[in-house]
Amino acid sequence: MDPRGTIGFEIRELSILLTRYIEKEKTLNNFEDIQGLQVWTLGYLYKNRHKVIFQKDIEREFSIRKSTTSSLVKRMIKNGFIEVKKGTQKDKRLKQLVLTDKAVSQIQAFKPHVHRLEEKITDNISPQELEQFKETLKKIKNNLSC
């Protein structure tokens, strides 16, 4: 069976192209070597920096398993992008994730490139087409949710 043309193949190919573009931008602009999920996580933490965010929130936001999140958090701590504050009044096992100054400066430096990427992705696509595409993606994600 030829996978070309199937939704799964097309989404995979799109993911590869997106990753390739981001890697090229990182290289051209001398950004730290931050891997894909780390970039998205930093963006999420930055957007929600005035909220208390725990490791379990990252699991839920990115549909990843606890073990994946643990590895991600360890790498981000090692790279100096986040700090962990352990425990809360209610549950001492929870790990609150806090951005470091290093992470904030990286995010601010990368912001214009993220906006340019979004413009490149959406070029020649009408607002109606974008809305329909987002709705279709939402349905696909719901179909695959476990």
Say if 10 falls within a structural domain. Answer: no
The count of structural domains within the chain is 1
- Give me the domain span that covers residue 136: 34-144
Say if 14 falls within a structural domain. Answer: no
For residue range 28-87, what is the model confidence (pLDDT) as tens digits? 877 776 777 888 899 999 999 999 999 999 999 998 999 999 999 999 999 999 998 876
Q: What is the mean pLDDT of the chain?
A: 88
- pTM assigned to the model: 0.76
Specify the length of the chain in residues.
146
Q: What is the mean pLDDT of residues 12-23?
A: 88
Say if 8 falls within a structural domain. Answer: no
Q: What is the pLDDT of residue 47?
A: 94
For 119, residues 6+ apart whose C-beta sits below 8 A from its C-beta are none
